[in-house]
Amino acid sequence: EDQVTQSPEALRLQEGESSSLNCSYTVSGLRGLFWYRQDPGKGPEFLFTLYSAGEEKEKERLKATLTKKESFLHITAPKPEDSATYLCAVGGSQGNLIFGKGTKLSVKP
């Protein structure tokens, strides 16, 4: 059964303190690894798609990387506005996404 596990559940950082979020996955065949950002009371906002081990993508202070078993979302010099829940998902066989429970990130000024 396809499964996604994210860690840590919650992460508190000081502004400027870089860190990484982890997403471990077990799938029968990878159809893409997806990162979303979700703010309170809103729907998930698409960030990145990764398809093959070694692939990397960047957007502002965020960088996503992928290995055969896990993905990392690196946050460099975060700002308070980066506070959100970050969701990781893998593509299912019918176009659906299988999500982890998310990492709630808080960045304090």
Partner 1 sequence: NAGVMQNPRHLVRRRGQEARLRCSPMKGHSHVYWYRQLPEEGLKFMVYLQKENIIDESGMPKERFSAEFPKEGPSILRIQQVVRGDSAAYFCASSPETQANYGYTFGSGTRLTVV
- In the complex, which residues of this chain contact partner 1 (CB under 8 A)? 4, 31-32, 34, 36, 41-46, 49, 51, 87, 89, 91-92, 94-102
Closer CB to partner 1, 95 or 109, in the complex: 95
Closer CB to partner 1, 65 or 103, in the complex: 103
Q: How many residues make up the chain in this entry? A: 109
Nearest by Cα to 32 from 96, 101, 104: 96
Name the minimum Å distance from CB 93 to partner 1: 9
Task: Give me the DSSP letters along 1-49.
Answer: --EEEEE-SEEEEETT--EEEEEEEE-SS---EEEEEE-TTS--EEEEE
Closer CB to partner 1, 43 or 77, in the complex: 43
